[in-house]
């Protein structure tokens, strides 16, 4: 295991309150002028998608086609120095250097697990850090990307929930995770797939997440196809419908329970958007594309949601939903009240769902020796709410 340790800074932040249940915000900021043009702050070009980049060049009296040149330099070549952009005139390079910047999140810790999983802890501002994880597999490399610092949704089995919600990530901070990972991986390995399954609820940072996924899929940047960019949501139904209008990324839904009583407990947003509404929204998202399927994520918690009866109920529930099931062995974390189901239980559960005709895969737990496993991202680094310590004190 390679690791570059850095001191951990746990400074409490004064930040806006998390969106409460009654006020689930679907948008957070006007897009993508978030980088505050013309206010004496340099524009971070890393966060501009094609349209925003064209607008930027128009706004400085230049040609919109420059956008493509910039996107290629930044995202295809990993360049952050305007001087290296040799197909731009010297005066334009000088202007850009004075008024704009290409500023990725800063790497504060880089680790590589024995199974090749790589993890980067990234500093996004003085008080906030996020994590990005690269999972190499035969013929592909998946990057697990965060969309928020912390999370407001309080799913009972998730370690991110323990730290509370700090803030939304900007477009630059979301796409910056891919930019940094690709640059660190070098020529040898490519990110072929992105999953928005790191910290946060992507649909509660709607505009920034959509713009960042557009950047991932642009032919002049990373050129990832819609099958290779997956947004995972706990089920913010109105935002899911909005997503269908503006995006066609692949969809994963964190279901975790086959009935509302249990799901209310595990994924509290279910009280607002129950299973029936969520699955109807999934079907609307898939629309008429016959070959598309929603990935249903189901974390297996010993004695809670892992019985043969649960498996049968799940299969019945999904009978009319174009879906495939991804079973996730629970990753324990300090003070969690759950345990992972046994391999035999997971196998039995998987067989029942499979025999009902659903494509079923079981996620391998990777990167365990560097805490890069699912649901464990950054918990101990960024415990802003100090809930972790409060819990420890009670235990």
Residues designated as active site: 131, 374
From CA 229, how far away is CA 226, in angstroms rounded?
5
Contact 371, 190 (CB under 8 A): no
Both structure tokens of 10: 């746990």
Q: Cα 70 from chain centroid?
A: 25
Burial of residue 305, with CB atoms counted within 10 A of its CB: 0-12 exposed, 13-18 middle, 19 or more buried: buried
Cα–Cα distances in Å, from 136 out to 65, 192, 364? 35, 10, 12
CB of 144 to ligand SAH, least distance (A): 8
Contact 146, 198 (CB under 8 A): yes
Instruction: Tell me if 353 contacts ligand SAH by CB under 6 A.
Output: no
Instruction: Name the residue nearer to ligand SAH (CB basis): 64 or 268.
Output: 268
Interface with ligand SAH (CB under 6 A), residue total 17
Instruction: Tell me if 191 contacts ligand SAH by CB under 6 A.
Output: no
Helix (H, G, I), strand (E, B) or coil at 364: coil
CB of 233 to ligand SAH, least distance (A): 5
Measure the CA dihedral 127/71/243/353, to 10°: -80
Q: By CB under 6 A, which span of 83-91, 95-103, 151-159, 271-279 interacts with ligand SAH?
A: 151-159
Instruction: Tell me if 201 contacts ligand SAH by CB under 6 A.
Output: yes
Instruction: Tell me if 323 contacts ligand SAH by CB under 6 A.
Output: no
Binding track, positions 221-250, relative to ligand SAH; x by CB under 6 A: -----------xxx----------------
Of the residues 197, 217, 237, 286, which one makes contact with ligand SAH according to CB under 6 A: 197
Instruction: Tell me if 45 contacts ligand SAH by CB under 6 A.
Output: no
Nearest Cα to Cα of residue 213 among 264, 178, 189, 239: 178
Cα–Cα distances in Å, from 99 out to 44, 84, 95? 9, 17, 6
CB of 334 to ligand SAH, least distance (A): 11
Of the residues 34, 297, 306, 383, which one makes contact with ligand SAH according to CB under 6 A: 297
Contact 124, 150 (CB under 8 A): no
Q: Which residue is nearest to ligand SAH (CB)?
A: 375
Instruction: Name the residue nearer to ligand SAH (CB basis): 218 or 297.
Output: 297
CB of 235 to ligand SAH, least distance (A): 8
Instruction: Tell me if 367 contacts ligand SAH by CB under 6 A.
Output: no
From CA 378, how far away is CA 390, in angstroms rounded?
18
Residues that bind ligand SAH (CB under 6 A): 157-159, 197, 201, 232-234, 254, 297, 299, 328, 330-331, 333, 374-375
């Amino acid at each position: 295991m390679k690791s570059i340790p850095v001191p951990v800074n746990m400074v409490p932040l004064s930040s806006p309150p998390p969106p409460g249940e009654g006020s689930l915000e679907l948008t957070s900021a006007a897009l993508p002028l978030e980088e505050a043009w013309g206010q004496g702050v340099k524009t971070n070009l890393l966060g501009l998608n094609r349209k925003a980049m064209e607008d930027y060049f128009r706004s400085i009296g230049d040609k919109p086609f420059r956008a493509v040149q910039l996107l290629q330099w930044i995202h295809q070549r990993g360049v952050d120095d305007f001087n290296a952009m040799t197909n731009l005139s010297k005066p334009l390079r000088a202007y850009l250097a004075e008024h704009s910047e290409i500023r990725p999140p800063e790497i504060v810790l880089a680790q590589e697990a024995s199974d090749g999983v790589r993890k980067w802890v990234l500093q996004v501002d003085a008080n906030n850090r996020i994590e990005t994880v690269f999972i190499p597999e035969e013929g592909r490399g998946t990057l697990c990307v965060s969309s928020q610092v912390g999370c407001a949704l309080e799913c009972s089995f998730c370690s991110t929930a323990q730290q509370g919600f700090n803030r939304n990530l900007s477009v630059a901070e979301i796409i910056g995770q891919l930019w940094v990972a690709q640059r660190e991986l070098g020529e040898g390995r490519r990110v072929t797939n992105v999953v928005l399954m790191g910290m946060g609820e992507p649909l509660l940072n709607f505009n920034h997440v959509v713009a960042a996924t557009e950047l991932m899929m642009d032919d002049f940047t990373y050129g990832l196809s819609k099958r290779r960019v997956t947004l995972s949501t706990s089920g913010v139904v109105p935002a899911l419908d909005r997503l269908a209008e503006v995006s066609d990324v692949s969809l994963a839904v964190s279901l975790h329970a086959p009935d509302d009583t249990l799901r209310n407990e595990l994924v509290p947003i279910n009280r607002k958007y129950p299973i029936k509404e969520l699955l109807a929204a999934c079907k609307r998202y898939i629309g008429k594309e016959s070959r598309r399927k929603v990935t249903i994520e189901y974390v297996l918690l010993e004695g809670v949601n892992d019985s043969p009866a649960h498996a049968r109920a799940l299969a019945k529930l999904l009978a009319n939903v174009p879906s495939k099931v991804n079973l996730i062995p629970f990753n324990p974390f300090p003070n969690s009240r759950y345990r992972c189901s046994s391999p035999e239980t997971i196998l039995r559960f998987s067989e029942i769902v499979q025999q009902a005709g659903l494509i079923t895969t079981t996620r391998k737990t990777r990167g365990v020796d560097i805490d890069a496993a699912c649901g464990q991202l950054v918990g101990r680094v960024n415990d802003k709410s100090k809930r972790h310590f409060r819990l420890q004190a009670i235990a």
